[in-house]
Structure formats: structure tokens, C-alpha cells
Amino acid sequence: MGRRAKNKQGAPPSLDEFQESKQRKEEKKRQRDSKISNSKLQNKKVKIDSSNNKDKKKSKKNKVEEDITDIPDDLPQVDYDELSAARKSLFDNESDDDNEEEKESKLETLDDLDNDDLDNDEFDDDDDDDDDDDDDEIHEKPMFSDDEDFSDEEIEKVNAANMEEYSKQLDLEKEQEELEAEEELIGLNQVQPRAKILPPQGEDDDPASQTKDGAKDLTFIRTRMLEIVKVLENFKELSEEGRSRSEYIDQLIKDICDYFGYNPFLAEKLFNLFSPSEAIEFFEANEIHRPVTIRTNTLLTTRRNLAQALVNRGVNLQPIGPWTKVGLQIFDSQVPIGATPEYLSGQYILQAASSFLPVMALDPQENERILDMAAAPGGKTTYISAMMKNTGCIFANDANKARTKSLIANIHRLNCTNTIVCNYDAREFPKIIGGFDRILLDAPCSGTGVIGKDQSVKTNRSPKDFIDIPHLQKQLLLSAIDSVDHMSTNGGIIVYSTCSVMVEENEAVIDYALRKRPNVKLVESGLTIGKDGFTSFRGKTFDSSVKLSKRYYPHVYNVDGFFVAKFKKFAPSPFDKSKAGAFEKEKMAREEALKEGLISDDFAKFDDEEDKKIMKESIKHSLERKGIDPRTVNIDKKLTNLEEKDEEEKKLK
């Protein structure tokens, strides 16, 4: 047998074998006890005999000495051989006596040992079979190390009938012990001390949050943020007495502004979108650039061939994920990824992974007429063209003429031959042209989803931006709905997307469109990833179908923050016949905004002529209250004087 086979544990014994081994152990124990008691008695007898023998030896020696001293003359002849044999036997007896004395001393010391230590001593006279049994028991002992803990009564209770229940009970006890050990390890049942995290009341900040030079200690601030998040998740047990939840939140937002560099307004708006712990993850994700991604131009090549060509040039890449068949993620490259022969020949385009999503939701089909309302720089337009296999017709529109240069360059480079580039205010559709099968509206937004690319968003956004931008987005979406042909066989689709995570630019806009255009409905986007849109947010409730929209966060999917919603138009719009232009639509949108109270005082430009009329009427009423006839006063001159006086005051300020 090999070494492994010797150390291998045997099969577990049955109940009968277990009881027999127990009885055999007890029998051996009794035998050892009896042997030890007998050996002690024998040792006492041997000790007495040895003392007697010593006395006899002494007496013999004395007699021999006396005989030697008194030697008679008439001695008989001595046989020397017999004398030497007797002398030899005499010394043998003495050595035996010495051995007996040594044994006696050993026995006296062994009396103090435990019974377990006597298993291998010189008094163990068990036969070879017993030794083999002992070896087997020792070999199997690790498997049943707890057997000796059972009392005789417990062993008698265990039988074939209740063994299964007894085994279950042991398993439950083991699980309970493991659970208690785990709780003790993580400290669930331990009362945590209520740490004082917030600055003392009446002070703006903790002195420890600043370095010796007076600068902010970012390490201390980060630690305090994490501690506040921990308190907010278990506020009842961990909060400091006398401190409210709002105090902790205010301090956390202040620390976020100091640590990440946001202005207080934007930090609070972003914080309100998430739980405290998830908000920290979102802010940290915005400090990291998203991976470099490219999209394969399937008009010229396949993803497999493109990947092989780039790998041969020293590019380390892999597919983005199972949700896209054309995307590749670049880790590092030996050559500039934007200057390879494959790039210049139009086999791929540098494009963010999140920009694939609205085109995938649009799902363009061959031989359709499609409008991209805000097309520059052309990543989505060229993707639509590739999905249509250069069939049908795409209208790529952008209101900024300077941006159309990059749009035209990408269309030419990627060999898109079914695209028309135009430069109109998108709100003029469908007055310019309508009847599209599908429309993609990637609306201009605040950019709160791409802070990783543009860090200036942290400080540039103000409350006015979240009034102006949604106002424009609502007009564009209504124009897109009116420009779609509801009679299209497979179409009638509008996809609305933004690179923002704000509710004002996403759910609020599509909820507005659903209320203003009852001839559209939200449908499933067909995207396999993404979180559902909000149906309510901070007391404001949206249409229940808004949950069909999709949200994307950088800390969840490692893509830019994005929002995608897909509409289906099933009836004509009330403005399809009139084909209202941008001015009419803006007027209607303003009236709606005024009713809902969304426009602040400084939202629109002042109309000087209208203002002068109002001011003249006010001067007339003032003169009449004073008892002066307004017709006797030159009101225009008085108004001019007031304006000059106002300008002088402004200069002085």
C-alpha cells in the first residue's frame, strides 16, 4: 500500500460497530486498571524479597570473612570449577536484584501518569489483534473526533429509528454555530458606538478637515463622506443624538462639492437621483474616463476581420459585450487608433458605446425614409446607414452649420451613399418636410451623463439651464412626432435620447409629449440592458408607461450616462395639416410653460416696444392719482428722463 492509501480514512462504522468498539474500549480500560493494581502488589512483594536477599548476602559475606580469618588445618580438597560456577550464579542474582530495583522505581513514577499514557508502556500485554484494533480506531478517530463527547445515555438513545432526526439536529446546531460566528465576526449583534462625524454645532467645518497650510484635507473629507453614508443607511442606530437627517445630508453634499469639485446646486440634484451609497459610486465613476470604443462599419468589413487586422497592428481589444455585434473595446494600442489605415479607409469609427443604444432602439429597416434631427458628428447617422445597407434615404440635419463639416466628412469616409445633409432648425419640421417612417432625436442636453468627458459641466450648470434646455427639448420632440407618418407600414417610430441623467430632461419631457400628443404611446425599446425610467420623482408623478424608457449610468454599465425612450405614432397629430413652424410651436410651448409655472422671470428676452407701452400706461395712472391731466404732460419725454436716470444709477452701481 502507498502512503496515500495508508492515510486514507475508512468508511464510517454502523451503529452496531460503533457500540462494539465502545464496549471494547471500556473492557480494555478495565483490564489495564487491573493489571496496574496487580503490578503494584507484585512490586511490593519484590521489594520485600529483595531486602531479605540483601540481608542474607551481608550475612554470607560476614561468614566468609570469618572463615577466611579462621582457617583450620584439616580442610578438605576444594573443587575450583564448582566454586567459579557458584560465584557466577551469585553475580547473576545480584544483577537481577538491581533490575528489580530499577523496575520498582519505574513503577513508582508511572503511578502518577494518566491511564491514557499507559497504552504503550511495558505493562501492556495485549495480543497483536488488539494492537491492530487500536490502530484502526486511531486511524478512524479524526472522522469521529466528537464521539467521545457522547455519554452512555445519549448513545443508547441513538438507534436506527431516530438516527436521521438526530443527524438533522446536529446539522442545525452546526449551522447555528456558524451563523453566530459570522455575526460575531462582522459585528451585527454588537452595539456600535455613535460616532461624532458632523462638525460641532455652530461651526461651519471641522478644524481637522484642513491641513496645516489651510487647504482642504481630501483624505479626511473622503473618510467623513463614507462615514456619513454608513450613518444614513442605518440612521436610527448610528446617528448622533440631537442631529437630524438633513444635517447629515447637507454635510455630505458639502463634502461632495469639496472633494469632487461640483457646484452645490448640481451636486444636490445629482445626489437626489440615488441612494447615498449609490450616489458616491456615481460621483466616483464620473472621475474615470470611459473605455475607448469603436464601431465596425459593416458596409465595408466585419467585426472579426477588423479585430484581426487591428490585433496584427498591436492593438489590444475585445468585444464590448453580448448586447452589440459591431462594438469593440480598445485597451491599449501600439499605433494611434484614429490614424490607422483601417480608420482612414472607413472600416470603423470612434464612437461611445452608449451612442449605439438609440440606433438599436430605432431599428431602421431597408428602403425606409428616416430623419436624424440632430445628426452631427455623424456616428448615429452612419450606423443607421449601415443597418439599412445603403438603401432608402436618410436626412441628416443639424442646426449648427459648423458642425455639419464633421458630419459630411464621416459620411464620405464611411461610404454612406443614401444620406442627405441639411442645415435647418429642427423645430421647422414638418413645415420643411414630413412623412418620415422613423425619426431619431438625440436632443441637445445639459451633459450630466458625460461629466467624465467634460469636467466643466460640474461648475457651469445653473437652475436656468434646467428650464431652458427642457423647454427646447419639448419643442423638438413635438416636431418629431408631427413629422412621422402614422400610416407607415413598419414605421411610425420616434426615438428620443439624451446624454443626461436629469429627470427634467428625460421623464418630464416624454410625459409632456404624452399629454400633448395623445396619438403616440411609449413602447418597448428592445434593449437588453438598462434600468427602467422613473414613474415618480420627488412628489411628481408621470405616466405609468414611462417605465418603458431606459436609463444608463456610468457606475452600473461602464458607459456614459444616457436615456432612451421609444414612441409609436398610431394616429395623425392635430398640427399635421397646419404644419406649424418653429415660431408657432414655440408660442404654444411658452403658453403651456406659463400655465405650469416652469418659466422664471429671466427666461425670455424683453420686448422693448411692448415694455414702453406698459410703462406709458403706468405713468398715466400715476399722474391721474396725483390729480394731473395726462394730456397736459409730455409722457414720452418723461419716459426718456426715467430711462436716463435708470442708466445713471446702473453706472454708479
* Active site (catalytic) residues: 499
CA-based radius of gyration for the chain: 49
Grid coordinates representing 633 are 404732460
Residue 420 backbone phi and psi in degrees, to 5: -115, 125
Helix (H), strand (E) counts: the chain: 23, 15
d(CA 354, CA 324): 11
Q: Is 376 annotated as belonging to a binding site? A: yes
Polymer length in residues for the chain: 653
560 is in an annotated binding site: no
Angle between helices 635-652 and 608-625 (to 10 degrees): 110
Does 202 belong to an annotated binding site?
no
379 annotated binding-site participant: yes
- Rounded CA-CA distance 534/548 in Å is 9
Report residue 222 as a C-alpha cell.
473622503
- DSSP letters for 579-602: T--HHHHHHHHHHHHHHHT---TT
378 is in an annotated binding site: yes
The three cell numbers locating residue 557: 454599465
CA distance 252 to 261: 13
- Cβ pair 292, 329 in contact under 8 A: yes
Provide the grid cell at 101.
530495583
215 annotated among ligand-binding-site residues? no
The answer to whether 380 is annotated as binding is yes
Query: Strands 327-333 and 562-569, how do they pair?
Result: unpaired
Partnered with residue 567 across adjacent β-strands are 494, 522
Alpha-carbon gap, residue 429 to 30, rounded angstroms: 106
As a whole number of Å, the end-to-end CA separation of the chain is 104
Is 571 annotated as a binding-site member? no
Is 409 annotated to bind a ligand? Reply is no
C-alpha distances out from residue 400 to 422, 444, 479, Å: 10, 12, 18
589 labelled as ligand-binding? no
Nearest to 508 by CA among 425, 450, 429, 445: 445
Max Cα-Cα span within the chain: 192
Q: Which residues are annotated as part of the binding site? A: 374-380, 398, 425, 442
Q: Which residues are annotated as part of the binding site for S-adenosyl-L-methionine? A: 374-380, 398, 425, 442
